[in-house]
Amino acid sequence: MVSPAIALAFLPLLLTLLIRYRFYMVLLYRAVLVRWVQDWLTGLTREERAFQYVLTHATPGEPDTILEAFDSWCNNVEYISHIGPRKGKILDRLVVETAPLVVLELGTHCGYSTIRIARALPVGARFITVEMDERNARVAEKIIRLAGYDDDMVELRVGSSEEVIARLREDLGVERVDLVFMDHWKRCYLPDLQLLEASGLLGRGSVLLADNVLFPGAPHFLRYARACGLYTLRLHRATLEYAQGIRDGMAQLEYHGVKIDT
């Protein structure tokens, strides 16, 4: 049995750890513990619960109201990890500035970032979004159609990012991707980037934006982007979506096609 004296000796250390990591503990509570409880109570996934909320708080055919409903849910009800409104503005600006004709999104999840991209695309642009989880994909499709985007405007593909990238040229007729947004499994960032390169789908001026490269983090992806000499890298520093005090960032890469001095 631990004596009171020993317990008191460890109290300052415990308090220090609680203060230093309080934001991560709040995130653990909101993202994991609350989710487990609600999954058990409702029999629905977190994404399905979010859809029910959006359905009753947004206006069909008005993308902005859907995004606002999502933001309200994530701030006040349950936590969902998608790009969020602050980092979302960086994505919005990038879509407008690049005016891409072909966009590939890896990690549709609920369709939040899909809607942000779709509403800023030029007329006639092709947009392919990829989601591996079939249950999440069903939710995302409902959200995307609720926003007013049909199959001709947003093509939702269910499968792993690796499988879809490998089929883009041969099965889907894609010769080049102008903008890639990565927000799926962080361990897939680097292999998917290299697969895009090997498939010849990136051309000079193609832009990639990868979310959460600092938290949870994609260190191998960042290291490669800095060292390979094929990209100009810009790091957008921010905080984690719908969370306080947790530093995060997005990596913006512009492809040059030949090695450049770094």
* Residue 262 located in a structural domain: no
**Residues 158 and 229 placed together within one structural domain of the fold:** yes
**Residues 227 and 160 placed together within one structural domain of the fold:** yes
Pair of tokens at residue 149: 């985007």
The values of phi and psi at residue 202, to 5°, are: -100, 135
**212 carries an active-site annotation:** yes
Q: Which of 141, 183, 192, 248 is catalytic?
A: 183
> In terms of Cα–Cα distance, which of 190, 258, 184 is closest to 216?
184
**Residues 235 and 135 placed together within one structural domain of the fold:** yes
* Dihedral angle over CA of 69, 87, 192, 202, nearest 10: 110
Q: Which of 211, 248, 259, 261 is catalytic?
A: 211
> In terms of Cα–Cα distance, which of 196, 248, 239, 195 is closest to 218?
248
* Residue 63 located in a structural domain: yes
Pair of tokens at residue 117: 């991209």
The C-alpha angle 144, 148, 150, rounded to 5 degrees, equals 70
**Residues 8 and 120 placed together within one structural domain of the fold:** no
8 Å CB contact between 237 and 223: no
Look at residue 262 in the predicted model and tell me its pLDDT.
46
* Alpha helix ranges (H) inside 77-133: 84-98, 112-118
Q: Which of 87, 136, 141, 186 is catalytic?
A: 186
Based on C-alpha coordinates, what's the Rg of the chain?
Answer: 20
**Residues 67 and 195 placed together within one structural domain of the fold:** no
* Residue 208 located in a structural domain: yes
**92 carries an active-site annotation:** no
Maximal CA-CA distance, the chain: 72
CA 116/CA 82 separation, integer angstroms: 11
Residues spanned by the domain of 156: 84-255
**Residues 147 and 235 placed together within one structural domain of the fold:** yes
Pair of tokens at residue 63: 């993308």
Domains contained in the chain, number: 2
pTM for this prediction? 0.92
Look at residue 260 in the predicted model and tell me its pLDDT.
53
Per DSSP, the three-state class of 155 is: strand
From 55, 76, 97, give the residue that closes a domain: 76
**Residues 29 and 91 placed together within one structural domain of the fold:** no
Q: Which of 78, 178, 212, 248 is catalytic?
A: 212
**Residues 187 and 57 placed together within one structural domain of the fold:** no
**Residues 22 and 45 placed together within one structural domain of the fold:** yes
* Residue 127 located in a structural domain: yes
Q: Which of 131, 141, 192, 241 is catalytic?
A: 241
* Dihedral angle over CA of 198, 204, 205, 210, nearest 10: 10
CATH code for the domain of 217: 3.40.50.150
* Residue 23 located in a structural domain: yes
- pLDDT tens for 154-182 read 999 999 999 999 999 999 999 999 999 99
C-beta pairs of 30-36 under 8 Å, 24+ apart in sequence? 30/78, 30/79, 30/243, 31/79, 31/81, 34/78, 34/79, 35/78, 35/79
| Low-confidence residues of the chain: pLDDT under 50 | 262
From 76, 92, 111, give the residue that closes a domain: 76
**Residues 184 and 248 placed together within one structural domain of the fold:** yes
**192 carries an active-site annotation:** no
CA 246/CA 186 separation, integer angstroms: 17
From 51, 76, 101, give the residue that closes a domain: 76
**Residues 65 and 183 placed together within one structural domain of the fold:** no
Pair of tokens at residue 124: 């006639």
**142 carries an active-site annotation:** no
* Residue 125 located in a structural domain: yes
* Residue 120 located in a structural domain: yes
CA 187/CA 220 separation, integer angstroms: 8
**Residues 107 and 173 placed together within one structural domain of the fold:** yes
* Residue 104 located in a structural domain: yes
**89 carries an active-site annotation:** no
